[in-house]
């Protein structure tokens, strides 16, 4: 059994101590760090590259959901919280499990076994969103909410982050590369047209071609997007071509 690196994110030190104690019977779960805030959690994630996070929802002045928009979605999440009203939201963001405090050891055992079964059976299987799935993001006005994958119009890189632009023009930064998005988004609905752009093909308004340069205009966007030669051929094949015509 391969070890799984994990961190615990909880703003109560005693809660972190108790959870570590409960995890002692599972030496394959290697607790490599602890954090009491989203900022410290991101530092731990960048430093230790954990595969699993035990995450409280109510943190001081923020929530566990705030952390999700800052990190790679391939990291497994087990919510550990005193509140049961967030369970539906937790599974909407593809949490592996949802444990209520005080954590029942038998219930924790089930959760850990589920994680190892998933690791053993799906190591090479990447998460692929359905077009109707939702993700939890924070917008420029600091509000956070769920958005439908179908509401994404454009994704562009911003350093180590990517900028999501929704159909109604809102922006959100997510700690995820375009390469990761390309693996996770439904390929029949999203197309990478350049090293610096993934578009929702449902939002294509029209395509212009001048010499060897292709430009795409999206609905509700004035500025065109340039299409690289590498990806231009995909615009004239299958479903994508039907959206442009």
Q: Which CATH number is 170's domain given? A: 2.40.50.1020
105 lies in the same domain as 202: no
66-76 confidence digits (pLDDT tens): 888 788 777 88
Residue 129 lies in a domain: no
User: Residues 116, 156: one domain?
Assistant: no
> What is the rounded average pLDDT for all residues in the chain?
83
**Whole-angstrom Cα distance, residue 243 to residue 176?**
27
Let me know whether 95 and 35 are in one domain. yes
Running DSSP on this structure, what letter comes out for residue 163?
E
**Contact status, residue 119 vs residue 75, Cβ threshold 8 Å:** no
Do 66 and 12 lie in one domain? The reply is yes
Query: Measured between alpha carbons, how far is 99 from 163 in angstroms, rounded to an integer?
Result: 32
Q: Which of 98, 121, 144 is the last residue of a domain?
A: 121
Number of domain units in the chain: 2
126 assigned to some structural domain? no
Task: For residues 98 and 5, give the distance between their C-alpha atoms in angstroms, rounded to a whole number.
Answer: 19
Q: What average pLDDT does this structure show over 24-52? A: 94
> Mean pLDDT across the stretch 175-185?
84
Residue 127, in any domain of the structure: no
Do 47 and 115 fall into the same domain?
yes
Domain of 12 in residue numbering reads as: 4-121
pLDDT digits (tens, 9 = 90+) for 4-28: 999 999 999 999 999 999 999 999 9
Query: Containing H/E element for 197?
Result: strand 197-200
CATH number for the domain that contains residue 116: 3.40.50.2300
> What contacts 110, CB < 8 A, 6 or more positions away?
none
Last residue of a domain, one of 91, 121, 151: 121
Residue 26 lies in a domain: yes
In a domain, 89, yes or no: yes
pLDDT digits (tens, 9 = 90+) for 127-156: 678 898 877 777 765 666 778 899 999 999
Say whether pLDDT at 124 is over 50: no
The C-alpha atoms of residue 174 and residue 106 are separated, in whole angstroms, by 35
pLDDT at position 80 over 90 = yes
Q: Answer with the one of 121, 149, 176 that is the final residue of a domain.
A: 121
Q: Nearest 5°: phi and psi at 157?
A: -80, 145
């Amino acid at each position: 059994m391969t070890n799984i690196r994990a961190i615990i994110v909880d703003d109560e030190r005693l809660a972190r101590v108790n959870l570590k104690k409960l995890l002692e019977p599972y030496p394959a779960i290697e607790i490599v760090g602890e954090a009491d805030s989203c900022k410290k959690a991101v530092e731990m994630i960048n430093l230790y590259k954990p595969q699993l996070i035990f995450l409280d929802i109510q943190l001081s002045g923020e929530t566990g959901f705030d952390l999700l928009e800052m990190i790679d979605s391939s990291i497994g999440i087990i919510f550990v919280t005193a509140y049961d009203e967030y369970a539906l939201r937790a599974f909407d963001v593809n949490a592996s499990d949802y444990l209520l405090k005080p954590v029942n050891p038998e219930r924790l055992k089930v959760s850990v076994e589920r994680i190892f079964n998933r690791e053993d059976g799906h190591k090479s299987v990447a998460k692929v969103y359905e077009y109707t799935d939702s993700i939890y993001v924070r917008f420029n006005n600091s509000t956070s909410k769920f958005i439908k994958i179908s509401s994404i119009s454009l994704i562009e890189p911003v350093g180590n982050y990517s900028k999501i632009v929704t159909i109604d023009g809102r922006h959100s930064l997510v700690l995820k590369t375009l390469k990761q998005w390309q693996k996770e988004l439904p390929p029949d609905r999203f197309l990478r047209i350049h090293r610096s752009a993934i578009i929702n093909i449902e939002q294509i308004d029209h395509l212009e071609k001048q010499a060897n340069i292709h430009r795409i205009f999206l609905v509700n966007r004035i500025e065109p997007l340039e299409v690289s030669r590498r990806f231009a051929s995909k615009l004239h094949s299958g479903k994508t071509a039907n959206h442009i015509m």
